[in-house]
Amino acid sequence: MPATGVHFNGSVNLPDGETVMREISARVPRGVRRMTDGETGERNYWIQFQVQRFASIPELEQIAAHKAYETDDSAPEMLRFKLADGASADAIQWGDLGYASAYEQSFEQFVALQQDGTIAADVRFQMQYPTPLAPIATTITPEDLIAVTASYERALFADLDRALSDLPHERIAVQWDVAVEFGLLEGGFGEEARASIEDLLPGLVRCIDQVPAGVPTGMHLCYGDYGHQHFTQPESLALQVELVNAIVAAAERPVDWFSFTVPQARADDAYFAPLEDLRVGTETELYFALVPYYPDDQPAGTADEQTERIDAHLAASPTGVRAWGICTECGMGRVAQADVPKLLDLHRELLAAQAG
């Protein structure tokens, strides 16, 4: 079964949200169910703008600056903090985190573009949130991590609740970006910072269950794009499948989509074989990163081979043959701005090629 849909994981390196939505609508005219605003402006380097705000919080004391993992020199340093002497995590006043404010503004642009026919009437506006652990895990010292994460989670969920209270549920969707968790699972931030699925599952399930049933929610399964590089390359889809199965089994509400990381060089059977163990109903959309960041470096026919592997192994899973879609490995925030139009066109071209 060829890919039938397109998913955008969030960031797009274009000047502003309106430009992002216009470019996606013009270059990918079919297959899009949810529209991102591209996480432009201060959100353009994912959680970096959150970490920068931590420096102004009196209960947090900066103790270092470091790279989250070995990567390109262009990646910004991540600040490291501890609780200030005598400070309590419960006393932290996080202030306006900025997500709801940005999405309320972008939604106005989305509505205008939908009203003039630029965006199809059945497309929802997609809001992207990091998991609460994401800005905290590599920036707060281990001895303060649990308390500060809990405090920040309350603030982040409050920001989401504000957006949910201000925007119509029938026109929006919420994505959770699960990247730092894979870094912890894979040891991508060092062996001393490893975690297990059992450690991380409760927090991820809380994210899903925080979104009311009438609002679609999904997860982007990400191996990082810091410096436009992964913290490690996944050996196969096994860990992603295991985590998905655990989340779906534990959540009180359905998960509407998952997007999977597929390195552009991987078309071998071993990478996709774990899909046979996927226990997710057909009501959950699946997207695979078959849109390469560097198409000129990918051998001809790779996408066809990847498609064959996905179809074969999904067919052998408990749910059998099912529809699925395509995406990039992460967002497009670290893609050179001049290359974004070509990458958007590639989404359309891949869909058309698979449709025959």
- pLDDT surpasses 50 at 79: yes
Tens of pLDDT, residues 83-103: 999 999 999 999 999 999 999
- For all residues of the chain together, what is the average pLDDT? 92
Higher pLDDT, 336 or 176: 176
Taking the C-alpha atoms of residue 125 and residue 131, their distance in angstroms, rounded to an integer, is: 19
Q: What are the domain boundaries of the chain?
A: 5-355
How many other β-carbons are positioned within 10 Å of the β-carbon of residue 254? 15
- Cβ partners under 8 Å of residue 154, min gap 6: none
Render 258-270 in DSSP notation, one character per residue.
Answer: EEE---TT--SHH
CA angle, 40 as apex, 55 and 5 as ends, to 5°?
130
pLDDT at position 121 over 90: yes
| Span 136-163, average pLDDT | 96
- pLDDT above 90: percentage of residues in the chain: 76
pTM of the model: 0.94
Query: Please, are residues 192 and 145 in contact by the beta-carbon 8 Å criterion?
Result: no
Residues 6+ apart with CB under 8 A from 286: 257, 258, 259, 260, 280, 314, 322, 324, 325
Q: Is the domain covering 5-355 a CATH 3.20.20.210 domain?
A: yes
Tokens encoding 203: 């927090």
Q: Are residues 279 and 314 in contact, defined by beta-carbon separation less than 8 angstroms?
A: no
Give SS3 for 176: strand
- Provide the phi-psi class of 320: left if phi over 0, else alpha when psi is between -120 and 50, else beta: left
